[in-house]
Amino acid sequence: MSERFAILADVHANTSALREVFAYLDKEQVDTIYCLGDLVGYNADPSTCLKMLRGRNLVTIGGNHDRYVATGQVGEIRPATVQAVEFTRRTLSGEEIAFLSSLQDQKVVRDAFLLVHGSPRDRDEYILTAAGANANLAVLQEKFLGIDICFFGHCHIPMIVGNGKVETQFSATRTVALERYRTYLINPGSVGQPRDRCRDTSFGIFDPGAWAMTVVRLPYPVEETQAQIAAAGLDLQLAKRLELGI
């Protein structure tokens, strides 16, 4: 289990960011990719994004936006998000929508790591508070015996929670050494729509040999993605937030 692997989350149809991520992973010779869902949504190049992801050694679960697109059922969400979902449903092929429909809510990989989109206890939960983090650490310990690390997405903010600490300062690439036999929740940040006030794409590389997590931040041509959003007629606030990292 010593091979390093990549953890991606919340790609959100941002191919400009994804290209930078793949170029970095190729340079680092990191082949295996685990994805935490929300492959589509918000941004305007969903078909190319899916082709790029599916062309790799990818294991992925689904997120709420994948489910919105697969089912057409969105519930009470913002109008701009609904518009992006409808655009994505018009853009993707039937086979691509079927692929999104097939994605599971969670998955255990390597008999050691849990992949979820929201949290171990709720597929749509945002882990944004100490209380929420502690409750989910308890769920991980009680219901997922033998699993010390849960990788999660959804909130678009890179963080490492565990061993009495919450690490959130990842505006630049940084590696955190973990303690073995401790329980952790780890969010690699968002590839396609970062929300920690840093516009750089964010993803993770985990090294099982060193038991260490690296959160990688890379600049990417934000303007390309913004231009795609505008050309697709999507809400320009989706483009603006990419510039601000919110």
Domain presence at residue 70: yes
Residue for token pair 């219901």: 143
In a domain, 201, yes or no: yes
Which whole number is the average pLDDT over 220-241?
98
Does residue 143 lie within any of the structural domains?
no
Q: Report yes or no on 116 lying in a domain.
A: no
- Say if CB 153 and CB 9 are below 8 A apart: yes
pLDDT at position 162 is 96
Four-point Cα dihedral 98, 104, 109, 115, nearest 10: 120
Which strands sit side by side in the sheet containing 5-8, from one edge to the other?
57-60, 32-35, 5-8, 201-207, 212-218, 174-177
Does the pLDDT of residue 243 top 80, yes or no? yes
CATH of the domain at 52: 3.60.21.10
Residue 220 falls inside a structural domain: yes
Domain of residue 72 covers 5-106+165-180+192-244
Q: Which pLDDT band, with edges at 50, 70 and 90, does 2 fall under?
A: low
DSSP 181: T
Per-residue model confidence (pLDDT) at position 71: 97
The string of pLDDT tens digits covering residues 47-87 is 999 999 999 999 999 999 999 999 999 988 999 999 999 99
Residue 125 within a domain: no
Query: So what's the pLDDT on residue 161?
Result: 97
Is residue 85 within 8 Å of residue 74, measured between CB atoms? yes
Q: Averaged over 34-48, what is the pLDDT?
A: 98
pLDDT given for residue 75 in this prediction: 85
Mean pLDDT for the stretch of residues 90-94: 97
pLDDT, residue 197, reads 97
What is the mean pLDDT of the segment spanning 210-233? 98
CB 209 within 8 A of CB 30: no
Task: Return the pLDDT at 1.
Answer: 52
pTM: 0.96
Residues 199, 206: Cα–Cα separation, whole Å:
22
Q: Is the pLDDT of residue 203 over 60?
A: yes
Residue 151 lies in a domain: no
Q: What is the DSSP letter of 155?
A: S
pLDDT mean over 222-243: 98
**Assigned domain for 173 exists:** yes
pLDDT over 60 at 22, yes or no? yes
Overall domain count for the chain: 1
Give how far the C-alpha of residue 243 lies from the chain's centroid of Cα atoms, to the nearest Å: 19
